[in-house]
A and B are shown apart, each in its own frame.
Chain A
Amino acid sequence: MSFMQEHLPALQVVLPLVAASLCALFRVGYLSWLITLSSSILSFLVAVFLLLRVLEQGIISYEIGGWSPPFGIEYRVDLINAFVLLIVSCVSAVIVPYTQKSISARFGSTEQSWFYCMYLLVLTGLLGVTITGDAFNIFVFLEISSLASYALIAMGRDRRGLTAAYQYLIMGTIGATFIVIGIGLLWAMTGTLNLYDLASRLPEIKSSRPVLAALAFLTVGVSLKLALFPLHLWLPNAYAYGPSVASAFLAGTATKVSIYLLLRFFFTIFGGATFFTETPLPEILKILALIAMFAASIVAIFQSNIKRMLAYSSVAQIGFIILGISYATETSLTGAMTHMFNHAIMKAGLFLLLGAIMFRLGSVKIEELSGIGRKMPLTMAGFVILGLSLIGAPGTAGFISKWYLGLGALEQGEWWILVLIVSASLLTMIYIGRVVEVAYFREPTDEVVQLKEAPLEMLWPAYLLIAAAIYFGFDTSFSADLARQAAVLLVNAVY
């Protein structure tokens, strides 16, 4: 047991990786699903244990292969990435039970195995990016997860999934390469790749040009990966035309991990909140975030494909998170990290429910959904609850994060930001309201009349997320308090 405990950080990454190769090896659909399910749940448990240990004894440092840092690769778990690990593994563990039904309906046994293999590789990559303390390792894991997610998206039902995957590939690769360039420049200046070693060496040469260039490359690269306006153009198509499961998974995790990277680079490596006050970065980020909040929401209002609408909504929500980051205070970062957590729950749940509609109806065009609330009451009720949470209605998780974001803005005396947050939420209300109106207040079309409620296997994972979205709307002791502790670490650049 103590052996297991000691190697938990490695297990976190190795488990899904091994499971992925097993899937590729056996190529039996159902077996692969079982493997995926068990490894997802196990890695969720590992993440929980890691979090508990971090809370108990502080930072865990793990030396891969016994090579001590900064020469070897170090896995280092602190509160910040333990939190993100938990988000990623939790979303994954909830989604896997759902996948069986929707994937087996479309793919043969072998293809299913490949799907699960890719899914697990994405998971591996995301967990790896989060847990590793080595800059180059970040790039490798990032590419593992990205390559696998391109493949996942290309498995969509629509041929546009292929072009979406291709676009995503081009953009993702450029983003990753930018990150490598940034890392390369930092390495050239300091001679180390260990994040924490970097963090201790950088302050002396912080204002030298290569370091600033590295910062620019890292910022752009990560912004691309996290789909910050205007670098988000790959995201809507990718989420809209990929399989619903992939959309749910990626929406819940991939962008969150990229945001984590941003936090890690900005706050840990470049020295916490002081770095923010010294550069014009917060202003740029704030403006981009505000544009994202509004432009993407407005575009979302005009979408006819609900998956695309939600994808644009993701861009807007990322805007909210980045807005919180741009203030770089304890409260605003708490808001940003809580929103990361809440948004992962809400968006994953929304995409799962849409997947259920897609499964039954074969379309998620808004005009084809009229009256669906009567035929799929549970699905649509869930959609409404999560929609409310997305809007930020009190009593739901979404409210908590916007509350902290608003407070963060108020602390800086910028009450008008509060007004903007509120108006962006109103825009959210409009696009969610459109769906609700069509689903409940229009007469069902002939196709809709024949529908049955979504299968239970697809509903309960979604409802688990819905329950979480409500629960975290009332009990903030887990999400917000943990986020606050993490925010304190970030602001003070403790590592």
Chain B
Amino acid sequence: MIEFPPGLILIFGAILVPILKGYVRLVWTLILPLFAFLVILSLPNGNLFSLNAFGQELQLMRVDQLSRLFSYVFLLASFIGGIYSFHLRDSIEAPASLIYGGASVGAVFCGDLLSLFVFWEITAIASVFLILARKTARARSSAIRYLIIQIGSGMLLFAGLTIRWHQTGNIDFGHIGLDSPGGLLIFLAFGIKCAFPLLHSWLVDAYPEATVTGTVILSIFTTKLAIYVLARGFAGTEELIWIGAIMASFPIFYAILENDLRRVLSYSLINQLGFMVVAIGIGTEMALNGAAAHAFTHIIYKALLLMSVGALLYRTGTSLGSQLGGLFKSMPLTAGFCMIGAASISAFPFFSGFVSKAIILSAVAHEGYFVTWLVLLFASAGTLHYVGIKIPYFAFFSSQPGIKVKEAPINMLIAMALAAALCIFIGVYPSLLYDLLPYPINYVPYTASHILSQSLLLLFSASAFIILLRKGIYPKQLNSTHLDVDWFYRKPGRDLIRYIFIMTSSFYNHLGSNLIDRFERFVYQLYRHHGPHGVLARTWPTGSMVLWVAVLLVAYLLFYFI
């Protein structure tokens, strides 16, 4: 048994990655999550490792069922991601993904807010490299927006935890609640990472701009880490139900309109998070089980979907729905895996999404939130449209002449196969997942009623798709931008910031000279012989500095004497 924060295994292991090449690198990147997994498996529950730093006792290894579950799925996803990114030759992405994964695992085991903050920031910084590594101008500016928002979230967390520490005298990470300003700030910090409505734009802005593997890795960690911390700190917070319901419903409109399939999947990510957020808001044991289970299955099928779209992008160079199509013949395996992912996210019976989403829906219905229940049902039907049907249809089946490509590389296929197998396996044997859940559960997903109602919902929703498509009502795939909240900071906000920057810097540059200008005019009245080109108008710094000295001296004298 090793009492050592398991996240650090990945973080330190990542240092070696740039040196390694080829299969050695592959083996190393696979051994690290595997080893960390075995370490966690061997750990007993409890607070196992504390560290004195910053004058605080930091709990770096709080092991319980909830943290175990999230760490397992993070490591699993890291493992699959490692296989998927085998073809990479650059020395930034692979270590960045490992550090990112390690930090996420580290964050999951944090028993206090300060160490959580540390790992929180590492995830932000490590992840931005996955976007920057795309090396396009769009990705670059998107990455900067992403980083600012992510770090901003970290800063809010930090501010919240300091205030909280100041009030309560400890920084333990337990239930937090919204009833104090510190708690509110922390809630906001978590909310940014969780892509709460209005705070979500970074996600749909940045994820589609990342590299092929980068988007897969990004989709795994940040948001699910946010789900984990929300479940820890804000379980049972009523507001979350409404936030979650909005999250589950509004992205489906964007997702159906968007052309870039990776952006579609980013919106669907928010929609799926909505289900989990609702469950956390309800906060009963069953609901929290549902949130955790859904996070687990969601990570895998969302990674699978992004991997298949990533494979398309890798082979064809585009992920735009309007330019893809008809690829079923050239990439049959990828198409098959994509459809398994699509079936999972649409929660077809016997796919992983079904067994987790059913818990959430039952929990919502059980607590009597009927409106929320209807919204979630509506969102489920929507999910089928924009992911379950739209992605496979536009990528593989709608005809598009002229694209002849090879099947995805073998490492990508293996990674997708693994994820697809898991999707089906969990769907068929849900008890495997249920045993891992934080609270005891005796939920039976496969009752005739469940299967039938879900099948009806999906089939009739699909028939609506067919009819609408035939009538031509179904929205066309357009090369376009659909406005989202980020408009506020990318148009007026950006102009405002530019304006402020220009004003500040010019104000700053001319402050000295303007003052001297005024002074010169004043002096000109007194001493005519200085002439119109008086030396006082000159901007050379010594003059203005000395003037500042005099001004400050007078100011201080006045202040002191008064």
Q: Please give the distance in Å from A462's CB to the nearest CB on chain B.
A: 19
* 0/1 string, B531-554, CB within 8 A of A gives 1: 000000000011011101100110
A447 at the interface (CB under 8 A from B): no
Q: Please give the distance in Å from A220's CB to the nearest CB on chain B.
A: 5
A481 to B147 CA separation, bound complex (whole angstroms)? 33
**Is the beta-carbon distance between B155 and A425 smaller than 8 angstroms?**
yes
**Is the beta-carbon distance between B505 and A302 smaller than 8 angstroms?**
yes
A476 surroundings in chain B (CB, below 8 A)? 53-55
Size bracket, chain A contacts: 35 or more
**Is the beta-carbon distance between A216 and B560 smaller than 8 angstroms?**
yes
- A299 and B508 contact, Cβ closer than 8 Å, known pairs A394-B117, A395-B118, A410-B162: yes
A26 surroundings in chain B (CB, below 8 A)? none
- A407 and B140 contact, Cβ closer than 8 Å, known pairs A170-B542, A295-B504, A437-B132: no
Residue from A220, A233, A394, A410 in contact with B118 in the complex, judged by beta carbons closer than 8 Å: A394
**Is the beta-carbon distance between A231 and B159 smaller than 8 angstroms?**
no
**Is the beta-carbon distance between B140 and A441 smaller than 8 angstroms?**
yes
B545 surroundings in chain A (CB, below 8 A)? 167, 170-171, 231, 233-234
Closest A residue to B182 by beta carbon equals A415
A220 to B163 CA separation, bound complex (whole angstroms)? 35
- A474 and B505 contact, Cβ closer than 8 Å, known pairs A233-B545, A394-B118: no
A440 at the interface (CB under 8 A from B): yes
- A171 and B508 contact, Cβ closer than 8 Å, known pairs A394-B117, A410-B162: no
B468 at the interface (CB under 8 A from A): no
Residue from A178, A415, A429 in contact with B163 in the complex, judged by beta carbons closer than 8 Å: A415
Closest B residue to A410 by beta carbon equals B166
A393 to B154 CA separation, bound complex (whole angstroms)? 10
**Is the beta-carbon distance between B559 and A280 smaller than 8 angstroms?**
yes
**Is the beta-carbon distance between A474 and B135 smaller than 8 angstroms?**
no
A407 to B546 CA separation, bound complex (whole angstroms)? 36
Q: Please give the distance in Å from A428's CB to the nearest CB on chain B.
A: 11
Interface residues of A in 214-241 (CB under 8 A from B): 215-217, 219-220, 223-224, 230-231, 233-234, 237
B158 at the interface (CB under 8 A from A): yes
Secondary structure call for the A interface: helix
**Is the beta-carbon distance between A295 and B508 smaller than 8 angstroms?**
yes
Interface residues of B in 119-153 (CB under 8 A from A): 121, 125, 132-133, 135, 140, 144, 147-148, 151-152
**Is the beta-carbon distance between B92 and A217 smaller than 8 angstroms?**
no
A81 to B171 CA separation, bound complex (whole angstroms)? 34
A418 surroundings in chain B (CB, below 8 A)? 159, 162-163
A433 at the interface (CB under 8 A from B): yes
A4 at the interface (CB under 8 A from B): no
A419 at the interface (CB under 8 A from B): yes
**Is the beta-carbon distance between A393 and B556 smaller than 8 angstroms?**
no
- A393 and B121 contact, Cβ closer than 8 Å, known pairs A403-B54, A441-B135: yes
**Is the beta-carbon distance between B505 and A299 smaller than 8 angstroms?**
yes
A-B contact count (CB 8 A): 125
A170 surroundings in chain B (CB, below 8 A)? 542, 545-546
**Is the beta-carbon distance between A298 and B505 smaller than 8 angstroms?**
yes
B561 at the interface (CB under 8 A from A): yes
Interface residues of A in 415-434 (CB under 8 A from B): 415, 418-419, 422-423, 425-426, 429-430, 433
- A426 and B148 contact, Cβ closer than 8 Å, known pairs A233-B544, A394-B121: yes
**Is the beta-carbon distance between B544 and A213 smaller than 8 angstroms?**
no
Residue from A223, A279, A393, A419 in contact with B125 in the complex, judged by beta carbons closer than 8 Å: A393
- A406 and B144 contact, Cβ closer than 8 Å, known pairs A230-B548, A280-B559: no
**Is the beta-carbon distance between B561 and A209 smaller than 8 angstroms?**
yes
Interface residues of B in 500-528 (CB under 8 A from A): 501, 504-505, 508, 511-512
**Is the beta-carbon distance between B560 and A212 smaller than 8 angstroms?**
yes
B508 surroundings in chain A (CB, below 8 A)? 295, 298-299
B163 surroundings in chain A (CB, below 8 A)? 410, 415, 418
A257 at the interface (CB under 8 A from B): no
B473 at the interface (CB under 8 A from A): no
- A422 and B561 contact, Cβ closer than 8 Å, known pairs A231-B545, A298-B504, A441-B140: no
B557 at the interface (CB under 8 A from A): yes
B552 surroundings in chain A (CB, below 8 A)? 220, 223, 230-231
Interface residues of B in 161-191 (CB under 8 A from A): 162-163, 166, 181
Closest A residue to B562 by beta carbon equals A280
A474 to B60 CA separation, bound complex (whole angstroms)? 14
A230 to B510 CA separation, bound complex (whole angstroms)? 13
A166 surroundings in chain B (CB, below 8 A)? 542
* 0/1 string, B35-70, CB within 8 A of A gives 1: 000000000000000000111000000000000000
A400 at the interface (CB under 8 A from B): yes
A284 at the interface (CB under 8 A from B): yes
A174 at the interface (CB under 8 A from B): yes
A411 to B162 CA separation, bound complex (whole angstroms)? 11
Residue from A388, A400, A423 in contact with B54 in the complex, judged by beta carbons closer than 8 Å: A400
Q: Please give the distance in Å from B81's CB to the nearest CB on chain A.
A: 22
Q: Please give the distance in Å from B322's CB to the nearest CB on chain A.
A: 29
- A167 and B159 contact, Cβ closer than 8 Å, known pairs A299-B508, A441-B140: no
**Is the beta-carbon distance between B147 and A433 smaller than 8 angstroms?**
yes
**Is the beta-carbon distance between B505 and A429 smaller than 8 angstroms?**
no
**Is the beta-carbon distance between B544 and A419 smaller than 8 angstroms?**
no
Closest B residue to A474 by beta carbon equals B53
A171 to B552 CA separation, bound complex (whole angstroms)? 14
Residue from A174, A406, A475 in contact with B162 in the complex, judged by beta carbons closer than 8 Å: A406
B556 surroundings in chain A (CB, below 8 A)? 215-216, 219-220, 284
**Is the beta-carbon distance between A426 and B152 smaller than 8 angstroms?**
yes
Q: Please give the distance in Å from B162's CB to the nearest CB on chain A.
A: 6
Sample of 5 more A-B contacts, CB < 8 Å, known A284-B559, A415-B159: A171-B542, A178-B549, A233-B548, A394-B118, A437-B132
A interface, CB within 8 angstroms of B? 166-167, 170-171, 174-175, 178, 209, 212-213, 215-217, 219-220, 223-224, 230-231, 233-234, 237, 279-281, 284, 295, 298-299, 301-302, 388, 393-395, 400, 403, 406-407, 410-411, 415, 418-419, 422-423, 425-426, 429-430, 433, 437, 440-441, 474-476, 480
B interface, CB within 8 angstroms of A? 53-55, 92, 114, 117-118, 121, 125, 132-133, 135, 140, 144, 147-148, 151-152, 155, 158-159, 162-163, 166, 181, 501, 504-505, 508, 511-512, 541-542, 544-546, 548-549, 552-553, 555-557, 559-561
24 A/B residue pairs, CB under 8 Å, sorted by A:
A166-B542, A167-B545, A171-B546, A171-B549, A178-B553, A219-B556, A224-B549, A233-B512, A234-B545, A280-B560, A284-B556, A295-B504, A299-B505, A406-B162, A407-B166, A419-B159, A423-B155, A425-B155, A426-B148, A426-B151, A426-B152, A429-B147, A429-B148, A437-B144
A-B residue pairs, 10 tightest by C-beta = A216-B556, A212-B560, A422-B155, A394-B118, A233-B541, A216-B557, A233-B545, A220-B553, A280-B559, A170-B542
